[in-house]
Protein backbone atom coordinates (compact mmCIF):
# COMPACT_ATOMS: atom_id res chain seq x y z
CA UNK A 1 0.00 0.00 0.00
CA UNK A 2 1.43 3.39 -0.91
CA UNK A 3 2.19 5.82 1.92
CA UNK A 4 -0.54 8.22 0.74
CA UNK A 5 -3.28 5.60 1.15
CA UNK A 6 -2.30 4.60 4.69
CA UNK A 7 -4.25 5.91 7.69
CA UNK A 8 -2.38 8.74 9.41
CA UNK A 9 -1.30 6.72 12.47
CA UNK A 10 0.03 3.94 10.23
CA UNK A 11 2.00 6.42 8.13
CA UNK A 12 3.54 7.93 11.27
CA UNK A 13 4.37 4.48 12.59
CA UNK A 14 6.04 3.55 9.32
CA UNK A 15 8.32 6.58 9.51
CA UNK A 16 9.10 5.90 13.17
CA UNK A 17 9.78 2.17 12.73
CA UNK A 18 11.93 2.65 9.64
CA UNK A 19 14.18 4.74 11.92
CA UNK A 20 13.90 2.47 14.99
CA UNK A 21 14.70 -0.66 12.93
CA UNK A 22 18.44 -0.10 13.36
CA UNK A 23 18.10 -0.58 17.15
CA UNK A 24 16.00 -3.72 16.72
CA UNK A 25 18.42 -5.55 14.39
CA UNK A 26 20.71 -6.89 17.11
CA UNK A 27 17.93 -8.07 19.47
CA UNK A 28 16.33 -9.62 16.38
CA UNK A 29 19.56 -11.52 15.58
CA UNK A 30 19.75 -12.81 19.14
CA UNK A 31 16.10 -13.89 19.17
CA UNK A 32 16.45 -15.71 15.82
CA UNK A 33 19.29 -17.74 17.36
CA UNK A 34 17.28 -18.76 20.44
CA UNK A 35 16.18 -22.37 20.35
CA UNK A 36 13.33 -21.93 22.78
CA UNK A 37 10.78 -19.12 22.41
CA UNK A 38 10.55 -16.74 25.36
CA UNK A 39 8.04 -14.03 26.11
CA UNK A 40 7.64 -10.56 27.54
CA UNK A 41 9.84 -8.20 29.48
CA UNK A 42 11.17 -11.03 31.67
CA UNK A 43 11.77 -13.45 28.81
CA UNK A 44 9.67 -16.22 30.33
CA UNK A 45 10.53 -19.45 28.47
CA UNK A 46 7.80 -21.14 26.47
CA UNK A 47 8.13 -24.31 28.54
CA UNK A 48 6.97 -22.25 31.53
CA UNK A 49 4.51 -19.86 29.87
CA UNK A 50 2.96 -22.49 27.57
CA UNK A 51 1.50 -19.95 25.21
CA UNK A 52 1.81 -21.82 21.93
CA UNK A 53 -0.47 -24.59 20.76
CA UNK A 54 0.91 -27.46 18.66
CA UNK A 55 1.66 -25.54 15.45
CA UNK A 56 3.01 -28.29 13.22
CA UNK A 57 1.14 -28.18 9.90
CA UNK A 58 -0.79 -24.99 10.78
CA UNK A 59 -1.05 -21.92 8.55
CA UNK A 60 0.10 -19.02 10.72
CA UNK A 61 0.24 -15.26 10.19
CA UNK A 62 2.34 -12.94 12.35
CA UNK A 63 0.81 -9.46 12.42
CA UNK A 64 3.51 -6.82 12.81
CA UNK A 65 6.31 -9.38 12.61
CA UNK A 66 9.23 -6.90 12.72
CA UNK A 67 12.43 -8.91 12.43
CA UNK A 68 10.23 -12.05 12.35
CA UNK A 69 11.86 -14.11 15.08
CA UNK A 70 8.46 -15.30 16.36
CA UNK A 71 7.70 -16.47 12.81
CA UNK A 72 11.10 -18.22 12.73
CA UNK A 73 10.36 -20.01 16.04
CA UNK A 74 7.02 -21.21 14.64
CA UNK A 75 8.46 -22.22 11.26
CA UNK A 76 11.04 -24.37 13.07
CA UNK A 77 8.15 -26.07 14.89
CA UNK A 78 6.63 -27.03 11.55
CA UNK A 79 4.15 -24.18 10.89
CA UNK A 80 3.65 -22.62 7.44
CA UNK A 81 4.25 -18.99 8.40
CA UNK A 82 3.58 -15.62 6.75
CA UNK A 83 4.73 -12.35 8.31
CA UNK A 84 3.41 -8.87 7.63
CA UNK A 85 5.01 -5.65 8.83
CA UNK A 86 4.59 -1.96 8.13
CA UNK A 87 8.33 -1.18 8.11
CA UNK A 88 10.47 -2.09 5.11
CA UNK A 89 13.57 -1.60 7.28
CA UNK A 90 12.41 -4.14 9.84
CA UNK A 91 11.66 -6.55 7.00
CA UNK A 92 15.12 -5.96 5.56
CA UNK A 93 16.62 -7.33 8.79
CA UNK A 94 14.09 -10.19 8.73
CA UNK A 95 15.17 -11.14 5.18
CA UNK A 96 18.86 -11.03 6.10
CA UNK A 97 18.15 -13.35 9.02
CA UNK A 98 16.13 -15.71 6.84
CA UNK A 99 19.16 -16.05 4.56
CA UNK A 100 21.56 -16.44 7.47
CA UNK A 101 19.46 -19.19 9.06
CA UNK A 102 18.40 -20.85 5.78
CA UNK A 103 14.72 -20.42 6.63
CA UNK A 104 12.30 -19.04 4.07
CA UNK A 105 8.71 -17.87 4.50
CA UNK A 106 6.69 -15.02 2.90
CA UNK A 107 7.17 -11.52 4.35
CA UNK A 108 4.68 -8.85 3.28
CA UNK A 109 5.19 -5.13 3.55
CA UNK A 110 1.85 -3.66 4.63
CA UNK A 111 -0.63 -2.59 7.26
CA UNK A 112 -1.90 -5.36 9.56
CA UNK A 113 -5.23 -3.54 9.80
CA UNK A 114 -5.81 -4.38 6.12
CA UNK A 115 -4.01 -7.55 5.09
CA UNK A 116 -4.09 -8.28 1.34
CA UNK A 117 -4.93 -11.96 1.78
CA UNK A 118 -8.21 -13.90 1.45
CA UNK A 119 -10.63 -14.65 4.29
CA UNK A 120 -10.03 -17.84 6.27
CA UNK A 121 -6.45 -18.33 5.15
CA UNK A 122 -4.96 -19.16 8.57
CA UNK A 123 -5.35 -21.39 11.61
CA UNK A 124 -3.39 -19.13 13.95
CA UNK A 125 -2.71 -15.38 14.03
CA UNK A 126 -0.04 -14.13 16.44
CA UNK A 127 1.29 -10.73 17.39
CA UNK A 128 4.08 -10.00 19.85
CA UNK A 129 4.07 -6.26 20.57
CA UNK A 130 3.30 -5.78 16.85
CA UNK A 131 -0.19 -5.02 15.52
CA UNK A 132 -1.30 -5.79 19.07
CA UNK A 133 0.06 -2.49 20.37
CA UNK A 134 0.47 -0.30 17.28
CA UNK A 135 -2.78 -0.88 15.42
CA UNK A 136 -6.29 0.27 16.21
CA UNK A 137 -7.88 -2.67 18.06
CA UNK A 138 -11.19 -1.94 16.36
CA UNK A 139 -9.44 -2.63 13.06
CA UNK A 140 -6.74 -5.24 13.56
CA UNK A 141 -8.71 -7.69 15.75
CA UNK A 142 -11.64 -7.95 13.29
CA UNK A 143 -9.02 -8.25 10.53
CA UNK A 144 -7.38 -11.15 12.36
CA UNK A 145 -10.82 -12.70 12.76
CA UNK A 146 -11.42 -12.37 9.02
CA UNK A 147 -8.13 -14.09 8.22
CA UNK A 148 -8.76 -17.01 10.57
CA UNK A 149 -10.62 -20.19 9.76
CA UNK A 150 -13.41 -21.33 12.07
CA UNK A 151 -11.73 -22.74 15.18
CA UNK A 152 -8.61 -20.63 14.55
CA UNK A 153 -6.80 -18.85 17.36
CA UNK A 154 -5.45 -15.36 17.88
CA UNK A 155 -2.59 -15.00 20.37
CA UNK A 156 -1.13 -11.64 21.22
CA UNK A 157 1.20 -10.03 23.68
CA UNK A 158 0.67 -6.42 24.80
CA UNK A 159 1.89 -4.06 27.48
CA UNK A 160 -0.19 -4.42 30.63
CA UNK A 161 -2.85 -1.80 31.27
CA UNK A 162 -1.45 -0.70 34.64
CA UNK A 163 2.05 -0.32 33.21
CA UNK A 164 0.72 1.92 30.44
CA UNK A 165 -1.30 3.99 32.93
CA UNK A 166 1.84 4.56 35.02
CA UNK A 167 4.22 5.26 32.13
CA UNK A 168 5.34 8.80 31.41
CA UNK A 169 5.15 10.32 27.91
CA UNK A 170 8.95 10.02 27.92
CA UNK A 171 9.43 6.26 27.74
CA UNK A 172 12.99 6.56 29.07
CA UNK A 173 11.62 7.51 32.49
CA UNK A 174 10.80 4.40 34.57
CA UNK A 175 7.15 3.67 35.31
CA UNK A 176 5.77 5.69 38.20
CA UNK A 177 3.96 4.31 41.27
CA UNK A 178 1.22 6.82 40.40
CA UNK A 179 -1.28 6.56 37.61
CA UNK A 180 -0.42 9.26 35.09
CA UNK A 181 -3.27 8.62 32.68
CA UNK A 182 -7.01 8.13 33.00
CA UNK A 183 -8.21 4.59 33.41
CA UNK A 184 -11.60 5.38 31.94
CA UNK A 185 -12.09 6.15 28.27
CA UNK A 186 -8.85 4.48 27.22
CA UNK A 187 -8.35 3.86 23.56
CA UNK A 188 -5.06 5.23 22.43
CA UNK A 189 -1.94 6.55 24.08
CA UNK A 190 0.57 8.88 22.46
CA UNK A 191 4.30 8.76 23.12
CA UNK A 192 5.38 11.94 21.32
CA UNK A 193 9.11 11.43 21.82
CA UNK A 194 9.13 8.16 19.99
CA UNK A 195 8.09 9.52 16.65
CA UNK A 196 4.47 10.26 17.53
CA UNK A 197 3.59 6.59 17.59
CA UNK A 198 0.50 5.54 19.36
CA UNK A 199 -0.14 2.61 21.51
CA UNK A 200 -3.49 1.02 22.05
CA UNK A 201 -4.07 -1.39 24.87
CA UNK A 202 -6.13 -3.89 23.01
CA UNK A 203 -6.37 -5.86 26.20
CA UNK A 204 -8.20 -3.02 27.86
CA UNK A 205 -10.50 -2.64 24.90
CA UNK A 206 -11.85 -6.09 25.53
CA UNK A 207 -11.76 -5.88 29.30
CA UNK A 208 -8.59 -7.66 30.28
CA UNK A 209 -5.40 -6.34 31.82
CA UNK A 210 -2.58 -7.43 34.10
CA UNK A 211 0.24 -5.70 35.92
CA UNK A 212 3.11 -5.77 33.49
CA UNK A 213 2.02 -7.50 30.39
CA UNK A 214 -0.86 -9.46 29.10
CA UNK A 215 -1.00 -12.41 26.82
CA UNK A 216 -4.35 -13.04 25.29
CA UNK A 217 -5.69 -15.93 23.39
CA UNK A 218 -8.88 -15.44 21.46
CA UNK A 219 -10.52 -18.40 19.94
CA UNK A 220 -12.58 -18.00 16.81
CA UNK A 221 -15.37 -20.36 17.70
CA UNK A 222 -17.39 -20.03 14.55
CA UNK A 223 -17.59 -18.08 11.38
CA UNK A 224 -17.47 -14.40 12.28
CA UNK A 225 -18.60 -11.74 9.90
CA UNK A 226 -16.04 -9.06 9.07
CA UNK A 227 -15.90 -6.30 11.72
CA UNK A 228 -17.07 -8.54 14.52
CA UNK A 229 -14.77 -9.15 17.41
CA UNK A 230 -14.24 -12.78 18.50
CA UNK A 231 -16.46 -13.73 21.41
CA UNK A 232 -14.44 -15.78 23.82
CA UNK A 233 -11.44 -14.44 25.69
CA UNK A 234 -9.19 -16.91 27.44
CA UNK A 235 -6.83 -15.12 29.84
CA UNK A 236 -3.71 -17.18 30.61
Ligand X SMILES: C[S@@+](CC[C@H](N)C(=O)[O-])C[C@H]1O[C@@H](n2cnc3c(N)ncnc32)[C@H](O)[C@@H]1O
Q: Which residues bind ligand X (CB under 6 A)?
A: 10, 13, 17, 24, 28, 64, 66-67, 70, 84-87, 90, 111-113, 128-131, 134-135
For residues 236 and 225, give the distance between their C-alpha atoms in angstroms, rounded to a whole number. Answer: 26
Q: How far is the CB of 128 from ligand X (least distance, A)?
A: 4
Q: How far is the CB of 113 from ligand X (least distance, A)?
A: 6
Q: Which is nearer to ligand X, 81 or 112 (CB)?
A: 112
- How long a stretch of residues is the chain? 236
Tell me the angle at which helices 69-76 and 88-101 cross, rounded to the nearest 10 degrees: 30
Q: Which is nearer to ligand X, 22 or 183 (CB)?
A: 22
Q: Which is nearer to ligand X, 6 or 58 (CB)?
A: 6
The H or E element containing residue 161 is: helix 161-165
Q: How far is the CB of 201 from ligand X (least distance, A)?
A: 15
Q: Which is nearer to ligand X, 35 or 182 (CB)?
A: 35
Q: How far is the CB of 10 from ligand X (least distance, A)?
A: 5
Using CB atoms within 10 A of its CB, is residue 14 exposed (0-12), middle (13-18) or buried (19+)? buried
SS (H, E, C) 42-88: CCEEHHHHCCCCCCCCCEEEEECCCCCHHHHHHHHCCCEEEEEECCH
Q: Which is nearer to ligand X, 110 or 233 (CB)?
A: 110
The CB-nearest residue to ligand X is 66
Q: How far is the CB of 95 from ligand X (least distance, A)?
A: 13
Amino acid sequence: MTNEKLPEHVRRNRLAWDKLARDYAEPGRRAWSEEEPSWGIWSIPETEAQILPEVKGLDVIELGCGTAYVSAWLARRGARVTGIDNSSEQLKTARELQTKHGLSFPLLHGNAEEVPLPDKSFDLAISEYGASIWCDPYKWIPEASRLLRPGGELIFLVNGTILILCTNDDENIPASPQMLRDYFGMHRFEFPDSGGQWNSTSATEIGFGSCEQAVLKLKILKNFARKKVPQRVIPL
